[in-house]
Each structure stands twice: as structure tokens, then as C-alpha cells.
Structure 1
Amino acid sequence: MTQTAERYVGTSMLRKEDPALLTGRGTWVDDITPAGTLHLAVLRSPLPHARIDRIDVSAAQAHPGVVAVLTGEDVAGEFLAGIPCGWPVTEDIKIPDHMPLATAVVSHVGDGVAVVLARDANAARDAVDLIDVDYTPLPAVVDIEAAMEPGSPLAHEELGTNHCYTWPLATGDVDAAFAEADVVVRGRYLQQRVIPSPMEPRAVVVTPDPVGGGFTVYTSTQVPHFVRDILAAICGVSDTKLRVVAPDVGGGFGAKLNVYAEEALALVLARRLGKPVKWTETRSEHHQGTTHGRGQVQRMAVAATRDGKILGMKVELLADMGAYLQLLTPGIAVFGAFTYCGLYDFGSYSFECKGVFTNLTPTDAYRGAGRSEAAYAHERIMDDLARELAMDPAQLRLRNVHPRFLEPRTVPSGVQYDSGDYEACMRRAMELVDYDALRDEQARRRDSGDPVQIGIGIGNFTESGGLSPSKVAAGVRLQSGGWEQATVRMTTSGKVEVVTGTSPHGQGHETAWSQIVADSLGVHPDDIEVLHGDTLVAPFGRDTYGSRSLPVGGVAVHLAAGKVLAKATTIAAHLLEADEKDLDFTGGRFSVTGTSGPGVTIQEVAGAAALAADLPEGMEPNLTADHAFDPPNFTWPFGTHICVTEVDTETGFTRIRRYVAVDDCGVIVNPTIVEGQLHGGIAQGIGQALYEQATFDADGNPTAGTLASYTIPAATDLPFFELDQQVTPSPTNPMGVKGIGESGAIGSSPAVVNAVIDAVAHLGVTHVDMPATPEAVWRAIRAAGG
């Protein structure tokens, strides 16, 4: 085993995870089929709102291979409670009952009504089609603005209202700011529903332990610890009897930050029948039964002086909850409250969000949750204000960004951003895209009457990453996030084992965490194994979401490694008969400073610690340490994304000609991983801006139920991404890191839509909703008389 003085943090080391994935040696939940497995299929409601009058399961029970057919009434006694909401944002929030199978009323298309257990998956799915259900249709509510009107149909009659909650926030004298303003600009922007669409749909396998009486739950999830704790609570199983394993997970994007009915059903049915139970989601089920993202009507206003200085901002949101509150549903829109002010410095701010029930699939987290919606609104209205003032949109932004700060700074929403250098970031992006030359080209094309016009769109943003401090902040009843746990131990052979509470689904934790520990302990990353995603191996953890993995979980790993090094230093000093302060540690080797005498490697120290024959008095054996890191604040990554579009004014077709992004995620551990995260996030933001929308008819029936009718951009639809980074370290953690997983999805959609509108603004078009499809752009041009 060689020692190394090389530094790994900051280098583009190839991902350790990739060889297995690229050669087909990954392990996905659907690969797991224990002997005797029963396959689960779910009968889902074809109606958005209806009363269940009768369920006849006789034909399904007689189908070959079927073991059991069960309705909601049959399994009700298996549960202590329904699927919980983990983020009740107000004391008076209304939370409808949400049992894993409906018993009296279905509330959205895809609501589970009955289940079939069969000896193979095809038999189970065939038998589901044989279940006969009589429904009495009930009025459904689909539109969130209409849902708040008197006399609207009620998503849940027992609640007496579609109004879930109202959450307000205000700082400064907003009314005075608007009264004093020279200009007030108002906008109404839509965040359409989007479907997460990970490469791997959801899946779960539950196996009973015939000896210990417990259960192992294999599930495609971002949050194995949440799954363990919540299933234990609702199914009446001790958490000590539940092992939850997230093997390789093919993407999450927030949809797998949840605990779902199918996981609970698989557990109670495995308990009931004493057999392994497996369920794998179909793509159409994913469109109906897995949470959707976004779903907001945003009303926004800014007050400004004639020379473009913003004085105040008002935000009013209607947020679509869907039919039920999943784990974080009500908190997603509220979480964005702190970033609608963006990078901009002004005095007064008000925010109000109303959650609204509809008879649609529940919404919940989607990459950039809350922050992406906020960035879209504040960047759209910045362009609207620039048009009103006849100012260049870049100059307007530069006039209003916060000055450079390296210590926490209080912003208009009342929270403290950790550090930022927004002007430098923005000017670098403008330099890379050659902003002035593009404006000149745009003027020439307009003068010549070219049918293909170019647009330049800016997406400035910051986001609350590093989710999150455990303590309640700024009145948010935050029930997730918090601390993160890590263990670092050196084995007898001198190898290193890292146990992390974060659970990756594509982020590259095994690589990045190895780089962090390699630098701390002077070993090679190949000598480090990172264990994760298994609550038996890592019993403590808060999992992966909200750009928290590195600034919380990675920092916990760093600090645990520091504890290991501190203990190793004490043992090395004892072995070398030297004082600790006289030791030098370089390249994994301890030596006495200023001498040429013998030294000792950290692997030799690990061996001595394991043998325990010659340790300092009172010291316990082994080189191992735990650390739980609870950050004092969020981190606040930021960036400027600039999109250049070419829009054919005769057809409405948009082509992205260039896409430049300058991001600041603090200290970078692995630049290649950062670029990969940005590529994926930007692709999702472009998808929302130009292609994706979960649509429904007026009665609440989905009209984009498969990938044939729900458009996801392919690689050929995407431009080459020109990426650059700057580094403003975060003062909230000892590594100075901030996180990058969601940034691309936050900066991209406003940059793209602003570019589309900018290309045709001279024709009178000042507004296009997402997705800005060719038809939508063409209609906007015609409506404006262009």
C-alpha cells in the first residue's frame, strides 16, 4: 500500500461508481427477486373524484397464479395511520386522511383502490384488469384559481374547503415602498406541473426475516432513513425490526424523496402472508401515482425608481397541493419564500402563499424545489421591469445586486445569505457569451426584418442549499433536513471504511467522499470504501435532497476523518516517543519535525491501534470516529445563466444557439461531478421551459399519461453547455462548500423563457407561459399583431 502526498479535493478524479454501472453490474430494486416472491399490482382509479359503491374481486381471485386480492377495507386494519405529511407549515393547516388504499372515495386518477398478489408480475397485472368496481362520479376541481372561488367543487367534502393553508412573510414597509415608487410592474406567471421521470421508476421489495421477525425493505428511494422511520410508525413495526436498503437508484429528482403507499402496502402484505412481496412501477403508473412537481400561479409586483433601483417586492402564490399532502407537499412553495428576492438588494418585501387542494396527483419536491419557482418569477419580472424602463436587462440587474460579501448578509426576505460575489459572477457570464456583440447582432436582425430573430435571456439565482439547520428558522416549521452523520474507520490492514448517512442516486458520493478522506488521512482514494443507503450499515442519517449532501454529509465525513487523524497523531507520538506538537504528517506518514529519524505510516498506526498492545494510557483500541454535523445556516449557491435563442417568427420554433452558465458552489471537490450535475439540472430546466407539461382535461383526467404524450427533451434537443465556476467559500462549514445538485434546474428555465420573449419582444410579445412550444410562441406573435 503506497503513501501519497497528492491532494485530491479539487481534482476531476473519475467516478468510482461508473465502471459497475457502465458494464451492467449495477443492482437495481427490480433485479431483486427472492425465492417465493409474490408480485404486487395496484388497481388505480380511472376517475379523478368518485364514490366507491362496490368492488367485485371474484374474477381476479380466480385468475391463474393469483394468491390474494385485497381492497382498502381488507387491509385497513394493517395500518396504525395513513401516509403522513412531514411538513405542516401552519398550526391550522388542513390535512386530509390518506390511507394506502382508498375505502370510500377516490380523489385523483391513480388513487389506489385494490391490490393483487400473484406468483408472477404479468399474472398480477392481468388480474387487476378483472376487478370490477362501481363508482358514482363526484364533481372534480382541477384549476387552483377556480378552486378558491365560492361554490367550487370540493376535493375533500369533509374539509369544507379547498384552502389548505395560508403562510405569510413580510419585512420592511412594503406599502410605503410601493407608494413612493416611480414605477410599479406586475406579472402573473405560471409554473406548470411537471413529471419527474427518472430513468428508473419506483420499485420496492420487502422480505420477511423468518428468524428475527423483522423485514428488509429494498426500495428505490432518496431517503432510506425516512422510509424506515415512517413505515415503522404507520405499519406498527419497531424501527429496530426494519432494515431499509436503497441499492443503485436510477435518478430521483425529488420524486423519490417520499414514502409512498406501495412501500407501506408491500410491508404489511409481506407481514400478513409471510412471503417476499415485490412491486415495480410502470411508466404510466409513474405519471399517475408518483408526485408531480411545481404547479403554481405566481402573482408578483416590484416597485422601482425611474433609474431602475428596486424599492420593494410583493409575491402572492397559489400552490397546487393535489389531492393529498405527501411528505413535503405544503412546504415546497413556502421554502421558496426566502429566495423570491433573488440576488437583489432592496428594503421591503412581502410574501403570501395559499395552498390549494385539487383532484389531481399530489405535488411534492422536484429538483430545485421552491427555489426554481422563485428564480423563474424574479427573473421574469426583472425583464418586465427592464422593458417598462427601456433599460438593458443586464444593466438593471447589475444596478440592484448585493455588493460582494464574505460573511453572512441579511437579505430582503429576512434570512442571511452566507457569502456572495454576484456582480463578478454576472459579468463573467456576460463576458463569456459576448453580451454586447449579441445585442448588436440582435439590432441588425431586427432592422433587416430577418424572420429568425435572436433573444438573450438571463437567469440570475441563489438557492438555499445545504438543507438544513435542525433549528426552526424565520418561522418555518421545517420538519426535514438537519444534521448528518458519518463514521470513518481504518481497518487492521490500513484500508479506510466510510459510512455516510447520505444516500446518493447519481451524485457520486463514493468518489467525492473518498477524495475528502484521502486528503485528510494521506491515503489513496482506491483504498477507501464508502458505504451508504442501508439503515443496518448506517443507522443514523437524514439522507439526500436539497443540495445538502456535500455541505452537510460531506462535511460530517471531513470532520470524522479529522477525529481519526487526531487520534492517530496521539498514537504516532507515543510510538515515536515524541510530543504531538513536534510531529509532521505528510503523505500519510508521521515523522518528527526537523529530524531524519524513523517515521510511522498511518496504516502502521492503524495496525497498532487494532492490536492495542502499545497504546497511550487510557486510550481505546482502533482508529474510528463518528461525527454528526448540524450546520448553523443553509448554504447559498448562486449563479448567472445566459441563454441565446433563435426564434423563427413564422413558425414559433425555438433553437437554443448558446448556453453559458457561471456558477458558484463554494469550494469544489470534483469539477467533473459539478459539471455533470449542472448538465442534468440545465437539461431539466430546459425541459420545463420548452417541452414538459403534465396536462389534464377539465374533468381532471390526465392527457399526458405516457412518454408518448409527455415530451422530455432528448440529447439532440439540447445545446452544448459552456460552463465556468467561481469560488466564494461558505463561512457556514469548515470546508467552505455550498452544493450544486439543483443549481442547473434553477437558473435555466428563466434564462430560456426570457430569451424566447426577448427574441420577439419587438413584435409586441411580452409574455409566454411555459412550456414555450412553437405553437405557444406562434400564437403569442399573432396575438400581438406581429
Structure 2
Amino acid sequence: MPKDDGIGASTKRREDTRFLTGNGKYTDDINLRGQTYVHFLRSDVAHGRIKGIDSSAAEAMDGVLRVFTAADFDSAGGIPCGWQVTDKHGQPMQEPKHPILAEGKVRHVGDPICAVVAETYAQARDAAEAIEVDIEELEPVVDMKAALKDGATKVHDDLSSNLCYDWGFVEENKDAVNEAFNNAAHVVSLELTNNRLVANPMEPRVAVGDYDPWGDSHTLYTTSQNPHVIRLLMGAFVLNIPEHKLRVVAPDVGGGFGSKIYHYAEEAFCTYAAKVLKRPVKWTSSRSEAFISDAHGRDHKTKIELALDADHNFTALRTETYANMGAYLSTFAPSIPTWLHGTLMAGNYKTPLIYVNVKAVFTNTVPVDAYRGAGRPEATFQIERLVDKAARELGVDPIELRRQNFIKPEEFPYQTPVAVVYDTGNYHATMDKMLELSDYAGFEARRAESAARGKLRGFGIAHYIEACGIAPSNLVGQLGARAGLYESASVRVNATGSISVYTGSHSHGQGHETTFAQVVAEMIGVDANSIEIHHGDTSNTPMGMGTYGSRSLAVGGSAIVKATNKIIDKAKKIAAHLLEAAPEDIELKDGKFSVAGTDKSVDWSGVTLAAYVPHNYPLEELEPGLEETAFYDPSNFTYPSGAYGCEVELDPETGKIDILRFIAADDFGNIVNPMIVEGQVHGGLAQGIGQALLENCVYDDQGQLLSGSYMDYTMPRADDMRGFTVDHSCVTPCTHNPLGVKGCGEAGAIGSPPAVVNAAIDALHRAGHTHITHIDMPLTPSRVWAAMNG
């Protein structure tokens, strides 16, 4: 049995006490002496040439300190992209400048043109309305395929076209893949859309810039998932601020889902303007502003094909995808449809030949980047919808078709044809567990009961695999990453035995303050309440890469383990001196150091006090103190996987779909806190089901966002989620990190969309609508009804 607060215990999240009592410290809670406020005047057209800006009336209004335009940033760089993709011809991607304020042209609705700084927010907003901007409207490009046609309007005049890159992977497989399709006994194909999404975290983005003229130093308070990366990008590439003169603080952050990974123009503006005005500058996004300024997610159009032999074995897979980049390249945007998508196209299956083509396209829309799952949901949706369609065309059980082609447990580690090596997994076990928990054997009786009420019932399955903890740095560097993807931690033991852990990972809902403390408590054998976790401040935490891609425990936790092991090694030497024994004879258990085979011991606090009061201490061997830092750079991704089952009821009169049951059987490797893992899966399922049934970011052909508020963009609500059955009892530990963990934060959003769509198609087919082979997400009542009625 686990300790009450050690690894494996469902310890309540300690951070929730301050959140639930209203004592969280969010960025918008920060108000500095002499603070000013900024309002951004944003473009209301998708594409246009800026002919002139008249801000004289605004500058004369009460409270206005200054109106900034692009001309004020001539010495600044553009917002940098953190990943360069090389195309299938060996050429680097086209990489346009992303200015802080629009230079010469506006390229999407929401592109910031001017920034008004005033004594109050209301004054800044009113003054912005008095600015006259002369814009010559240009024809926008919104549709990706149309954007690549000859003669299409270019989003960036200095580029050769709207094609960012044309990426082929694995290029040397292409001819063999085509030959396999020519020789296939059966070929199944599907064209589908992975709908564009808006992240919508609980807390909108906020930035507060502050400047200390006496030290010539800057501080930025921001809602970020990775403050160290913001410091690196903004300091080195945008504002030319030395890192030791730039502090970035990300306090409590109310959710991110990927949208707060990136460096945004507003952060650079507030930092810059604070120095110019010698006063703090604050910006808080409205929810409507977030819809047109935060990076969006997904937005792929794909044709996918699967070749099978006469025995229904998968022989080859090929895809062609158009991926929307929006108007500018966001920080990690180029990597999402390539290295985080193409490398997962093997799924859970032994498909020997795979070729993935991705065309990344600039359009006059908000930039697109990672959203919960980032590339892996897109890959899983394609594969699992196609496998289901193949089973229907072949007239075989979709479960058995999957089982037949699964990688078997004895075949691990498994080298896929798309570069990555899966270290462990048991896909048959998770499928068995999902079917058991779903009472799949009783489905027909439940379907008959629905039919008696005039409803259609269907059961859909999906099996996913994802890659977490992007690594290692030397590999991703070869693939185009412009930063390392390690993590770091410092562990400081105080004289009385309490422990402070400083991590480069950032918590914005994951529960790090609880789980990281559980890990250290387990290793040393002390009360977890004696351990404090610090994060989110570049001035007191070691260099880190933040939190995204379910990397926190696998990468950040592993750095903490390494640093704690260094602490234990030194503490054993101190204990050996106190106990007059050899260090190799010292054992640590339950917070006590003992000499093996004797009753001689000293407790944890006795050793830590000796480290800082070294009256009896091996000074000739060790320095006083007890503090260590470690960096951890993984040798491979981790590979969580799972089987999801969804049971739906469909009303043929309206097309409305209700989810009656949802079962998630996941393999996350070892589990530190089961309760937190279950909560992470619940959140991911809500977002995945939201994408499948409700959420859709829609532009018209003039680039106007038609779904720019909660009146038009439908978020899932409590009554859309009737409860989930979540299981993580199928465990195959990761073999290459010290905790054996794999990551759980994105799984729900990856496996649920295809499970929901497969369930809806199953319900329709069982009712005789066999002509319906696919419906694009979201499966709104109108879309389903239209499909049923031609």
C-alpha cells in the first residue's frame, strides 16, 4: 500500500485550498504602483494595406500617455518561431516576420495596429476608438487549397507563395508505399476535416510589464505555460534584453491547453512600453479579444488511405494533409502537423509502410498552434476513423480488425516505419479492459430498448497512442527545434529538514505542488507537508522548458528525482560521518539513516542540521549545505496508449446525439496520484467530446470570424457529460525514465473524438443508413440530420 502522501496515493491537491477560497494569485490580481493600462486597436478586416494612421485626436484625450504604432518598434525584432521545418526537397520553410504591431499590412481580423496607453483602461479604450486608420482592403485568402492556387492573393508579399512548406515523411518510403497500394487486395480511403478550435482557458491572457531604471532591469508578469522560454525568445530575439536583466513571472495560471505556451506580441509590447514610459503597463484580454488574438488549434484537411492484403493485414498507409498556419507562424506551429503528427501515423498497428505529406499554408486567419494533444489527436482521428471504415467495407468486426493488426506485447520495443520506437505497451489488455467496463456484451439489449423509444443507439471504439515528453534535445535539434527540451530542478534542504523544490516545469492546473511533493516525500521518507514546490519565476527557478505535451512528470519529475538522488547521496555521507560508518553501509528508510545490520541511526533532521551547523562534519570531503541542481534530457518520448468506448443515442427526428456511456482504459505507466490522473482524463474527455459534437471555429470567405463569442462557439456544459468510467489498471511502465511514468494530460482529448464519431456512424449504419460513411466534426444535430436526409 502507498503511504498516505507518497507515490500511488490519491492525495488531495494542496493548491486547491487557496483556489477554492479565492486566494489564488493570478496575473490580473497583480497591480503595481503607478500602473498604466493598454488597449490594442485591432484590425476589423482580414487583409488590408495600412495607408495611414491619424492618432492626434486620441493623443489629446484625457489620461492618454502615448499611442504606439509599428514605427516605434523599428529596432525590435519580430515574434520568433521556435521550430524550423525543412521540406521534402531539403529547403527550409518560408518564415515571414511577425511584428509586434502590424507593419504595412494587416493580415487577420484581430491583428494589432496601434496600442494606446492611458491612466485607466476605459481611457485607453475610448482613445483607441478615436484613432483613424486608413486601410485599403485586399482580397483575403481563407480556404487553404484556394490559397495555394496560381494567382492567389499572398498573405505576405515578400514570400514566393502562401505555402510555408511541403513536407514528406518518410520520403524514402514513398515509392514502396505506392507499390504496396498497387498490389493491395483492398484499399480504403477517407477525406476528413479536423475542425479549428479555440482553446478558451478559464483565465484569459494577461501581461504586466515593469521596468527598474536604477538596475536597468525588466519584469514581465504573464499568463504563460513556460516563462523561461518567454524570457529567452523575447529577450534574445525581440527586445535585445540580456537574460540577467529580464525576469519573467507566471504566477497562478487558470488553464492553458496549449494557448499559453507561446510568446505573444502583447507580452513584448508591455515589457517595451514600461521602459519607454517609466511606468508599469498592464493588459488584460477580454474574452472576445481572446477569440481573435490567442492561437487557435487543429484545422487540418486530410485524405488518408489504407492498403490491406487478402487476410486483412495492414500493408501501407498514406496521407495528404493541408495544415493551416494562419497569418503568422506561432512559436511551435510548424512542428505540430509534422513531427508531432507524422511520427504518430503508425498508431497502435503493425503497418510496415507509411508515407505522410503535409502542406502548411498561410491564410488570413488567426495563427494556429498546439492545442491539447497537438498533432496526436489529428493523427489518431485519421487512423481510427479509417480503420472503422475499413471494417465496414470488409464486413468484419472493427474490434477484431484492430486486434489482428495491433503490435503484440512481445514485440516491444517496436520500431515504427515513422522513426519513433515504442518502448512498452499492451494494446490488447486495454481493449479487453474497455470492453469489460462497457458491458459490451449487453449492448444489443440496450440498443433494442432505445429502438423501442424510437432512438438509434451505437457503440464506437478508438485506440490511441501518443508521444509525450518531446525528446531528446539532440534529436529534436536535428528536426528543427530551436530550443532544448530538457527540464531542470533544484532541491534545497533547509537546516531543520524542510525541503524547497524549484522546478522549471509550470503548473496551470496539473497539480504539481501535490504530485512533485509526493515524489520527494516517497524518496526520502518525510511528510509531504514539509516540502514546498516553487515554479513560474525565472529569478528563482533553474532554466526550464515549461509545461505542455504531458511532459511535467516524465521530464520535470525526472529532473526532481535526479536532484533528490544527489541530495540523498550527500546526506548519506554526512550520516556515515555522524555514525562512524562507511557511506556504502548507510540505508535511508522512512526519513532515518541507519547502518546496515545495526541499530545505529540518525534521523533526517539530524543530518540536515549537521549540514548547516558543521561542528561534527567531514569538511575535508564535503562542503557545508545541502542543495543540488539537476537537468534531465530524456532519451525518448513516452508512449501512453488506451482503448476508448463511446455509447450514444441518436434522435432520428432531430439528429441530436446524446452520449450515454464513455469508457477510457488507459496505460499511463506508473501512477503517482490516481485522483489527479482521473481528473486530467476527465478534462481531456470534455474537450475531445466538445470537439466531436459542439466546438467549431468558423470564418466566412472574407475572413470574418463568425464564431467569435460563446453565443456562437458552443462549449461543452455539465449536462453534455453524463459521467465517465476511467481506468488505468493496465500498466506497462516506461523503461527510460526513473519514475516509469508516461503522461496523462492529453489522452482524453486524443482518443475521444474518433470514438464519438465512430459511435454515431455505428448507430446510423445499424439503422440502415449505410450510405453515410463519414460526417465531419462537430456532429451537430443539423449536420447529422442533413446526412440522414440526403
TM-score range, shorter chain: over 0.9
Name the structure 1 match of 2:85.
89
Partner of 1:175: 178
Q: Deviations over 1:395-451 (max 9, x none)?
A: 111111100158531023231012110111111101111223214644x479x6863
In the other structure, the counterpart of 1:114 is: 114
Structure 1 Cα separation of the partners of residues 410 and 453 of structure 2: 44
Residue 165 in structure 1 maps to residue 165 in structure 2: yes
* Alignment pair present for 1:186 and 2:182: no
- Residue number in structure 2 paired with 1:124: 124
Match of 2:777 in 1: 770
Among 240, 261, 268, which residue is 2:265 paired with? 261
2:520 corresponds to which of 514, 517, 520: 517
The residue aligned with 2:540 is: 537
AA paired with 1:105?
Answer: K
C-alpha distance in 1 between matches for 2:405 and 2:411: 18
Q: Give the 3 Å change call, closer, same or farther, for CA 97–458 of structure 1 in structure 2.
A: same
Structure 1 CA distance for aligned equivalents of residues 243 and 5 of structure 2: 41
Distance 1:61 1:467 in 2: 48
SS in structure 1 at match of 2:195: strand
Which secondary structure state, in structure 1, belongs to the residue aligned with residue 354 of structure 2? strand
Correspondence for 1:363:
368
In structure 2, relative to structure 1, the CA distance for the partners of 1:6 and 1:456 (3 Å cut) is: closer
The alignment status of 1:486 with 2:501, answered yes or no, reads no
Q: Deviations over 1:457-497 (max 9, x none)?
A: 11211111012210125963233452111111210111001
Residues 121, 473 of structure 1: alpha-carbon distance in 2 compared, 3 angstrom cutoff:
closer
- The amino acid across from 2:119 in the alignment is R
CA, structure 1 residues 441+176, in 2 after alignment: closer, same or farther (shift >3 Å)? farther
User: Per-residue displacement from partner, 1:223-280 (whole Å, max 9, x unpaired)?
Assistant: 1001101111210211110110000000001000100000011111111111101000
- Letter matched to residue 415 of structure 2: T
Aligned length: 775
> Which residue identity is paired with 2:784?
V
Query: Post-superposition shift, 1:96?
Result: 1.3
Q: What amino acid is aligned across from residue 593 of structure 1 in structure 2?
A: A
Shift of 1:159: 1.2
Q: Deviations for 1:10-62, whole angstroms, at most 9, x for unmatched residues? A: 11011111100000000111111111111011000000000111211122112
Query: What is the CA distance between 1:629 and its match in structure 2?
Result: 0.6
Aligned to 1:279: 283
Contact 1:490/1:496, CA 8 A, preserved across alignment: yes
Taking the aligned partners of 2:69 and 2:678, their CA distance within structure 1 comes to 48
Aligned with 1:382 (options 383, 387, 397) = 387
Aligned AA for 2:83?
W
Q: Deviations over 1:157-191 (max 9, x none)?
A: 32131111011112652123212211100111101
From 587, 590, 601, give the equivalent of 1:587: 590
Identify the match of residue 614 of structure 1 among 604, 613, 616.
616
Q: Distance in 2 between matches of 1:264 and 1:273?
A: 14
Q: Deviations over 1:164-220 (max 9, x none)?
A: 101111265212321221110011110111000000000010111233110111000
Contact 1:690 1:773 in 2 (8 A): yes
Compute the displacement of 1:558 (Å): 1.0
| Structure 2: distance between partners of 1:474 and 1:40 | 37
CA distance in 2, matches of 1:60, 1:757: 57
Q: Aligned to 1:158, what secondary structure does the other structure show? A: coil
Question: Which position in structure 2 is the counterpart of 1:600?
Answer: 602
Q: Paired residue for 2:349?
A: 344
2:7 aligns with 9
Quote the Cα distance in structure 2 between the aligned partners of 1:130 and 1:544.
41
Is contact 1:54-1:133 (8 Å) kept? yes
Unmatched segments (≥5 aa) in structure 2: none
- Find the aligned partners of 1:603 and 1:745 in 2 and give their Cα distance: 45
CA RMSD of aligned residues (A): 1.6
Partner of 2:73: 76
Which residue pairs with 1:729 in the alignment?
733
Residues 206-605 of structure 1: matches in 2 within 5 Å?
Answer: 206-233=209-236, 234-334=238-338, 335-405=340-410, 407-439=412-444, 441-442=446-447, 444=448, 451-472=454-475, 476-480=479-483, 482-597=485-600, 599-605=601-607
Which sits farther off after the overlay, 607-616 or 626-635?
A: 607-616
- Give the Cα separation in 1 of the matches to 2:15 and 2:44: 41
- Once structures 1 and 2 are overlaid, which stretch shifts more, 41-50 or 761-770? 761-770
Change beyond 3 A, Cα 1:249–1:330 = same
Rounded to whole Å, the distance in 1 between the matches of 2:662 and 2:737 is 32
Residue identity matched to 1:763:
H
Cα contact 2:524–2:589 (8 A) shared by 1: no
- What displacement does 1:123 show? 1.3
Q: Offset at 1:5?
A: 7.3
* Residue 24 (structure 2) aligns with: 26
> Distance in 1 between the 2:758 and 2:210 partners?
51
Cα deviation, 1:328-348, whole Å, max 9, x if unaligned, reads: 111110121011221011211
* SS of structure 1 residue aligned to 2:409: coil
SS at match of 2:299: strand
Rounded to whole Å, the distance in 1 between the matches of 2:383 and 2:412 is: 24
Indicate if the aligned counterparts of 1:445 and 1:453 stay in contact, CA closer than 8 A: no
Counterpart Cα distance in 1 of 2:40 and 2:52: 17
Residue 449 and residue 719 in structure 1: after superposition, are their counterparts in 2 closer, same or farther (change >3 A)? closer
Assess, with a 3 A threshold, how the Cα gap between structure 1 residues 450 and 311 changes in structure 2: closer, same or farther.
Answer: farther
C-alpha distance in structure 2 between counterparts of 1:439 and 1:222, whole Å:
46
1:125 alignment partner, SS class: helix
CA spacing shift, 1:387–1:219, aligned 2, 3 Å: same
Q: Tell me the TM-score normalized by structure 1.
A: 0.96
Q: Give the C-alpha shift of residue 290 in structure 1.
A: 0.8
> Partners of 2:593 and 2:279 in 1: how far apart?
55
> For the residues of structure 1 that align with 2:561 and 2:598, how far apart are their CA atoms?
30
After TM superposition, give the deviation of residue 747 of structure 1 in Å.
0.6
> Distance between the aligned counterparts of 1:470 and 1:556, measured in 2?
15
Whether the aligned pair in 2 keeps the contact of 1:414 and 1:474 (CA below 8 Å) is no
1:634 and 2:637 aligned: yes
> Tell me, what secondary structure is at the counterpart of 1:625?
strand
Distance (whole Å) between structure 1 residues aligned to residue 80 and residue 592 of structure 2: 52
Distance 1:212 1:748 in 2: 52
| Aligned counterparts of 2:446 and 2:603: Cα–Cα separation in 1 | 63
Give per-residue Cα distances to partners, 1:676-731, cap 9 Å, x unaligned: 11111110001110111111111111111111111111111112010001211001
CA displacement at 1:145 relative to structure 2: 1.5
From 57, 60, 63, the equivalent of 1:59 is 57
Alignment partner of 1:662: what SS? strand
Contact 1:182–1:303 under 8 Å retained in 2: yes
Gapped runs of 5+ residues in structure 1?
A: none
The sequence identity of aligned pairs, in percent, is 44
| Structure 2 contact 477–484 (Cα < 8 Å) conserved | no
1:780 maps to 2:783:
no
The Cα offsets for residues 477-522 of structure 1, whole Å up to 9 and x where unpaired, read as 2334521111112101110010101011111111011000001111
Query: Cα distance, 1:305 vs. partner?
Result: 2.2
CA distance in 2, matches of 1:289, 1:270: 21
- For residues 400 and 61 of structure 2, what CA distance do their matches in structure 1 show? 69
| Aligned match of 1:757 | 761
- State yes or no: 1:672 paired with 2:675: yes
- What secondary structure does 1:471 align onto? helix
How many Å separate the matches in 1 of 2:477 and 2:611? 46
Kindly provide the amino acid, as one letter, of the partner of residue 82 in structure 1. Answer: G
* Segment of structure 1 superposing worse, 432-441 or 22-31: 432-441
